[in-house]
Every structure is written in C-alpha cells, then in structure tokens.
A and B are shown apart, each in its own frame.
Chain A
Amino acid sequence: MVDVAVVGAGQTKYGNHPLGLKGMWAEAAERAFASIDGDFSPSMVDEAFIGSLAFGGAQLGNTAALLTEHSGMDGVPVRRVENACASSGFAFRDAWMAIKSGQADVVVAGGIEKMNDLTPERKRFWLGVSGDTEWERLAGLTFPGTYALMARRHFHEYGSTHDDLVNISVKNHAHGALNPLAHIQKQVTFEKAASGFMVADPLTLYDCCPTSDGASCVILAADHVVKRFTDSPVWVRGSGAASDNLALHDRPSITQLKATQQAAKLAYGQSGLTANDIDLAEVHDCFTIAELMATEDLGFAERGQGGEFAREQRGMLNQGNVTINPSGGLKSKGHPLGATGTGQVVEVFKQLRHEVEQGRQVDDAENALTHNVGGSGATCAVHVFGREIA
C-alpha cells in the first residue's frame, strides 16, 4: 500500500490576528507552499480537507470552498471537517486516507479559526457548543468546568495535585516563549502560575489555553511523487482515531480518555513504534489536566503517574525521553480550535527536519506524535511521524 509523507507545512502566528478568515488562510497556505523544497503549484492539489468549528457562525456553510478559492486551489474538491477542537486532526487523517486509498497523490489538510472578533458572551457560547449541550450546559458546564471535574477526580484517585498542573503550565510557557508563532511568548514562574485567577476550581487562568485566531496548512504526498517536492519528507507512520461519549457522565471513568487510548493504540500499531520511541509529542493541552491525562493515555507515564511525570518535568525540552509540547502547546502556542490539529503537524514537520528556531529544537528528533482531542474527549486523532519510512 502507498506510503504518505508530509512535504510542506505552514501556519500563521497564533493570537489576536489582524486578518479575517481569507487572509489568515492565505497566509498559512502561502507558508506551506513556500516550505516545499521542489516546484509546487496549488493546481497540483487533488483534494483538500479543512477543519473548522466555524466559530461565530460567520461562514458556517461552505467554509472550505471559500478558503481554497482564496489560495489558488481552483476547482479542487474540498470540504469542511468538523470535530470540534479535533477538526483538523481529523482533516489530516482524511487527507492521509485519500492518498492511502489511491484516489489522490497530493492533498492539502488544514484548519482555521477566527475567535477574537466576538463579544465575550458570544465566545462563551461558541466555546460551549461541543459538549452534550442538552445535559451538560443545563448543569452549568462549559469545558473549563468539565476539565475541572476531571482534575479534581484525578487528584482524588491518584494523589496528583494542582502543583503538578502548575508544572505543566510553567513548562509549556517556557517552550512557547521560544516560539515566534506562539500566542503567549512569555515564561511564567511557578509562583505566578500557582496563584492565577480561579476560572473553574481547581483550574486557574494558567491552567487554561487562550482563545486564539490562527490557520495552519500542511501538504501530503504519495510516496511515488514525494521526490518531486523534497528530499527530506516527514513520513506518516501511523494514523489512529476514535470517538467516545460526549458527556462526561456517560463514561465509565473521567480520569482517562478512552478515545485517546484507542487512537494511540491504532497509530502505534501501524507505525511499529511505541511510546518509548517517540522523541517529541504535541499533545492536546487545552487545560493542563488534559496534558497530564494525555501523558498517561499515550503511554509516556503509567496510569496514575502523570502527576509525577509533570512534577519531575520529564516533558521539558531535552530533559527526558520525550519532549512534550515543544511548541508551547495549546497553553502557550495557542488554540485556534479548527487550526490546532494541523498546527501540531506544522511543529512536528519542522522538528523532524531539524529546522526549528535556535534553542527549541528537540535533540536528534527521529520520531514524533500528535494528539488532537475534540471537546472533553468525544473525538481524538493521533498520528505518529518519522524521518524514516516504516
């Protein structure tokens, strides 16, 4: 069966972006096109998948066609992929499957979200539409509250503490401070992160990712055309995805994400790699507790040991076996919902090609993983990448 590689990747800076949807997407696509070493034209694209929640509803219908129209991909079959915050993780998987199926050779996967042009009330509405609305919203829950319930339960079951979450926040801010594309490019001290404004007890402002504008775009190619574009592709060695109950109360456990576990099992299985082989992981830390649980669900820490992993800063850049969120993660790099999944791939693409800015490169990076979660765990896409083909 055909193998698939990423041959180009680019993104906007995340944050309060001055441009709207068309401008942001064009910027990300332009950077992705420019990152391709060989000759490339958007007319070469066979298929495109663009993830977005369509935050704010301004372009809820035909979002993707509008974006390809403004990035030179005239006539390319395209669709919007929506799985909440995991939209472009799934767009990437769909792009991978399009090539795997033999129906396409060159495919674009991307994502976009414009979040900072709304009133605070509208933002809170859109930030809360991806849970089980009928049951969770009527209990006063949006995602800060949902993840706070997970955090407190994890503390109770495993003895993890809020200090462990603070360590995650400090680490990701330290990484993000080195990333020129990050939304929040500043370090925070443990003391400051520990004393943040309480958003949803026990989660403070420093446990929560920001609402960011941003777009990301990656270009995938089939093995038989890869050489046209680059001599240093990043191979997609495994793709896994899964879903779970939307509502927290419908799950057997709220201290682990079953969708992550299942997606990771599939992706590792295809890749022939294990967690021990991964040098860097971009994980979905919409809240610090989400990263703590991800380190367990992805196999970097034993069940219940995520707190200890964080406490010992084993995910800090080049400190342990695996660097977690060298980009700064959602916490510091930012979280433009639909753009996040392929934004993680942008980071992995640069890391595995050893093209990251000075001071942020993971040493000798050979294999990497992305982990993109929708909502509180209803959907999850995990991908494993390598400099070498399996």
Chain B
Amino acid sequence: MMESDVWKGYLAAWTEQCIMIQSPFVHKGIRVFGPDSDYTTFAIAAIQLHLQNGGLLSVVSAPSEIEPSIVQYATGIEISTMDNDSTPEWDLLIGDDATVVLALNNSSFELPEFETKIEVDAQFHESMMAAWKKELNISNVSQGAYVSMALYNEGANTRMTLASDVFGNGPVWPPRQMDSSGQRPDVQRQPLQTNGIVESWTALSAAGAPSEFSLRAPLLEGLTTVYVRLTDGPHGVFLMVDDEEHDISIGNSVEFVIRRIYGQESVVRYGLKARPI
C-alpha cells in the first residue's frame, strides 16, 4: 500500500521499496516541471524522502538526465558511474513526463495516479522553458555575477545541506574560515534543520533583479527574497519558491528545498530556496 503526500512542493508516493516524485503541473495532458525544477531536483527530493522515512541508502544508479554531483552534494548519496565500481542497490528512474522514481533493484511496484493536476499557463510555461534553454546555451554570455564552478563547488555542500561550522557556543552558517581568536572551526560540520522563520523580505521588480535572472525575472514578475532566521539560530537569505498563492509576512514559517537558481556556461546552478509552510 503506497502512502502519499506533498513533499518539498512535489507530489510524492512511497513504500519501503519505492519512492515516486511527480510534478503537480500539467500541460497538454502531460506532467511538466515547474519553473525551477528538473529531474535532478526530483531525484534529490526522492532520496531525501527515503532518508526521512528511515530508509538506508549509500549508492544509487541514475540516468544522465540527473546531475550526479548535485545529488551527492545535496544528499551525501553517491551516484554510481562508469568511473566507480560501486554496486547500487537502488535505481533512480525517470519517466517521459516530470516523474522520478527511486526503487530497490528488481522490486515490482505499481505507480499511483495522482488526482492533483494544476494546468499551467501555456504561454508562461513555454516562455520559461525557452528562457532556460537560452540561459543554458553555451553561446549565451550572461552579464550575471561570475561564481566560478570551483567557487560554487567549494560551497555546494554547505549551500544545499545547511551544513554548519561549530564556533564557540553555537553553529555558524554559512561557514567561516577562522574565528576572531585566529582559530579554525571544528571540522565536524553539522547539518542544520531545514526550516526557519522569515524576519524580513523584499520583492524585487524584474528591472531590479540581478542580471543573471534577467531572462526569467520578467516572466516571474520579479523575484522575492527572504531573510530567514534558521531554526538552529544562524540567518540566511533565500529566494522564495512556490509562493504564488501566499502573501509573505515577517513571522511566516518556511522550509528549504533544492531548486534551480540560474544557469551559466551551460551549467545549472542549484541551491536552497525557501518555500512557505
């Protein structure tokens, strides 16, 4: 018997041997990704749900549509490749539509049919897909901030898991290199709880958004950024997601989900976004 719920903004169904993540959005009768989701964000959500349910996992196989390094940064779970000789017991499978399944090898299961179907605005959806395609085209020279892959990768794990350093009396996130006494932090990084409270927010007009968002911000009618006090103490700033039906206010609770941030040099940059709960 499969259980089901909304998980990280997606439709989710699961048993002990199988987790399915599916988009709530439909276009021309087919499940499609939302504006900042893809197979990689779905795969991460599937693994996170499995781990949340107490499942064990170390290595999984995955098709090429899923970015292995991002999954590993976000979940700590290794994706088997031709370069490593690990033998996965679990497989990540993708559908023709916006669906990802995490399943135990050779298990049999029947995927449920979710009733939730949100019909997307066709023009918005097609414009957003076109914007991403253009943004990720290698010939597109973004005027956006240049966060190199090396810099991005250095902070990717802490960015996606809220892994914090320990300084003095409490956790510090994002990580720091040295404290005021000249000491390096405790290297045992601890992931923080992935939720918090909004302490301030702003909605940037499309014209005021950073230039790396210039193709998509007009479609989204601007960007909303929140300043959040994490449940464990530190603060962070995050883009909001899935907030179309919510009026954000100071004091609102949010959870963090992995989504696409922007694309540069044909590489998608992923990170945490805040989602109202």
On A, residues with C-beta under 8 Å from B are: 119, 121-122, 124-125, 128-129, 133-142, 144-145, 148-150, 152-153, 156, 197-203, 247-250, 254
Contacts and interface: CB of A to CB of B under 8 A. Distances in A.
Interface in B130-185: 143-145, 147, 151-152, 155, 159, 174
B242 to A, nearest CB: 15
Contacts of A135: 155, 159, 174, 236-237
Given A149-B201, A153-B227, A139 B147 contact: no
A139 B237 contact: yes
A142 B199 contact: no
Given A133-B145, A137-B145, A152 B250 contact: yes
Interface string B191-234: 00000000111111101111111100000000101010000001
A145 B209 CA distance: 8
Given A200-B205, A254-B227, 8 more contacts: A137-B144, A138-B261, A140-B204, A149-B202, A199-B208, A201-B202, A248-B227, A249-B236
8 contacts: A128-B145, A133-B145, A140-B209, A140-B223, A141-B237, A142-B210, A200-B208, A248-B237
A133 B174 CA distance: 13
Nearest to A128: B210
Contacts of B207: 199
Interface residues of B, number: 38
- A interface secondary structure, majority: helix
B239 interface: yes
A149 B225 CA distance: 9
Nearest to B237: A139
A122 B141 CA distance: 11
B269 interface: yes
Contacts of A254: 200, 227
A198 B222 CA distance: 11
B271 interface: yes
B238 interface: yes
Nearest to B174: A135
The 6 A-B pairs with the shortest beta carbon distances in the complex, nearest first, are A148-B202, A121-B143, A249-B235, A139-B237, A137-B145, A153-B200
Given A135-B174, A139-B238, A152-B200, A199 B205 contact: yes
Contacts of B203: 198, 200-201
Nearest to B224: A140
B261 A141 contact: no
Contacts of B143: 119, 121-122, 124-125
A134 B151 contact: yes
B227 A200 contact: no
Nearest to A152: B200
A349 to B, nearest CB: 35
Contacts of A156: 199-200, 250
Contacts of A248: 227, 235, 237
A249 B151 CA distance: 19
Contacts of B155: 134-135
Given A144-B208, A199-B205, A149 B239 contact: no
B147 A138 contact: yes
Contacts of B202: 145, 148-149, 152, 200-203
Contacts of B223: 140
A125 B204 contact: no
A129 B174 CA distance: 19
A195 B205 CA distance: 15
A249 B227 contact: yes
Contacts of A150: 200
A39 to B, nearest CB: 49
A144 B143 CA distance: 18
Contacts of A129: 145
B225 A145 contact: yes
B178 to A, nearest CB: 13
Nearest to B230: A249
Contacts of A200: 202-205, 208
A198 B239 CA distance: 18
Contact of B205 (A149, A198, A249): A198
Contacts of A141: 210, 225, 237
Nearest to B199: A153
A389 to B, nearest CB: 37
Nearest to B202: A148
A384 B208 CA distance: 35
Nearest to A208: B208
A98 to B, nearest CB: 29
A6 B178 CA distance: 40
Nearest to A148: B202
A137 B152 CA distance: 12
Contacts of A149: 200-202, 225, 227, 237
Nearest to B207: A199
A137 B212 contact: yes
Given A134-B151, A137-B145, A142 B208 contact: yes
Nearest to B239: A140
A177 to B, nearest CB: 26
Given A140-B239, A145-B225, A124 B199 contact: no
Which of B143, B212, B214, B227 has the most chain A CB within a 10 Å cutoff? B227
Contacts of B271: 138
A129 to B, nearest CB: 7
Nearest to A137: B145
